[in-house]
Amino acid sequence: MARLQVKEGVPVVLILDEVQKVSRWSEIVKRYWDEDTRSGTDIRVVILGSSALLVQAGLSESLAGRFELIHATHWTFKEKEACFGWDINRYIFFGGYPSAAPLVKDEFRWSQYIRDSLIETTLSKDILLLNRVEKPPLLRQLFMMTSENSGQIISYQKLMGQLFDAGNTTTLAHYQHLLEGARLIRGLPKWYGGAIRRRASTPKWIVLNTALTTALSGIGFLDWRKDTARWGRLVEVAVGAHLINTSLGTGIEVFYWRDHNKEVDFVLKQGEKLIAIEVKSGLFKGKHPGLSAFIQKFPKAQPLLVGQEGIPINEILSYPAPYWFKR
């Protein structure tokens, strides 16, 4: 049908939704794409899929050099605000899954939906069925531990000491890669200023949707809000997830920085430009030694304080990462 319309002079955009459900879909698309290229048939093809790992596998296997990747990430605060009328605190706790939004009035039902329909489906179908995973329980343990400790810097060696049958650091790094490919977590590298050392750094774990942490915690919204320390960590994770999600496809890299007891929550790098971001959810009067130390070491970097003393939380979550390089 698409080819007939092109012959009749009608511009065609062919959309293939949930393409990963079709066996050997990438080979089929490649064959028809090559046929149309040779014949000069101008059909623009948009491939959509809810499984990032399955779609990426097909692209890399058969469609190398034939595609442009456009990332559709977790919903942002502005999208949730516009669609569901959420305020910033509701977004930070319930996260960016639109399908779960109608369930938030029943927090138990909401958390079960996140666990069963989103987390379990991703782990069981998108990761375990697609990839060779010799220790599935270890993969699940790694996800659970990184979700529970999101926003913290934890070495592979420390993880191995806490995980059952952890194997070695190479295994954990591979499982981290799978979880990252499924858009569940990100292990942020430490910023040193040199690419070689960054590769070997201890990661700072960030879930890419705060719902992955809160739904697994067994703690309700009001109790999270009452615990200022716990809520502060969740706010930091929400900011980190937003920066990571909105930097995809932009050339912006996201890091953290630490030098002894001085730390910067996030470092954004675009070309030679650096932005150092410190997140303070409560009122924190006084100096900010982490930012000061970073700027002293990297004087060309732009400092960015997020919280009551600086940019409001709802503002940092309202603009994508590239915006802050244009201010």
Domain total of the chain: 2
Q: Are residues 97 and 195 in the same domain?
A: yes
Which DSSP string do the residues of 96-115 spell out, in sequence order? T-GGGGGGTTSHHHHHHHII
The pLDDT, as a whole number, for residue 96 is: 95
- Asked, for residue 71, whether it belongs to a domain, the answer is no
> 125-148 burial string, b = 16+ CB within 10 Å, else e?
ebbeebbebebeebbbbbbebbbe
Residue 93 lies inside a defined structural domain of this protein: yes
- Please name the residue that has the structure tokens 């002894």: 260
**Is residue 67 situated within a structural domain?**
no
Secondary structure class of 129 (helix, strand, coil): coil
How many degrees, rounded to 5, is the angle at CA 75 between CA 178 and CA 307? 100
pTM (2 decimals)? 0.86
pLDDT of 61: 65
In a domain, 42, yes or no: yes
- Does 132 fall in a domain? yes
186 lies in the same domain as 279: yes
Residue 41 in domain: yes
Judge if 7 and 155 occupy the same domain. no
Instruction: Please give the structure tokens belonging to residue 122.
Output: 């991703």
Indicate whether 164 and 139 sit together in one domain.
yes
Residues 49 and 123 in one domain: no
Structure tokens at 299: 């004087």
Give the pLDDT score at 51. 66
* Residue ending a domain, choose from 62, 85, 106: 62
State both tokens at 141: 């343990």
Are 21 and 83 members of one domain?
Answer: no
pLDDT at residue 309 in the model: 81
End of a domain among 62, 88, 106? 62
Residue 20 structural domain: 2-62
- CA atoms within 13 A of residue 228's CA, in its CB half-sphere: 5
Check if the beta carbon of residue 191 is closer than 8 Å to that of residue 183.
no
Residues ≥6 apart with Cβ < 8 Å to 235 = 92, 279, 281, 313
Note whether 93 and 53 are same-domain residues.
Answer: no
My answer on whether 13 and 90 are in the same domain is no
Is residue 26 located within the same domain as residue 154?
Answer: no
Residue 96 and residue 167 share a domain: yes
Which parts of the chain have pLDDT scores under 50?
A: none
**292 phi and psi angles, rounded to 5 deg:** -60, -45
First to last CA, the chain: 48
Phi, psi for residue 279 in degrees, rounded to 5: -110, 120
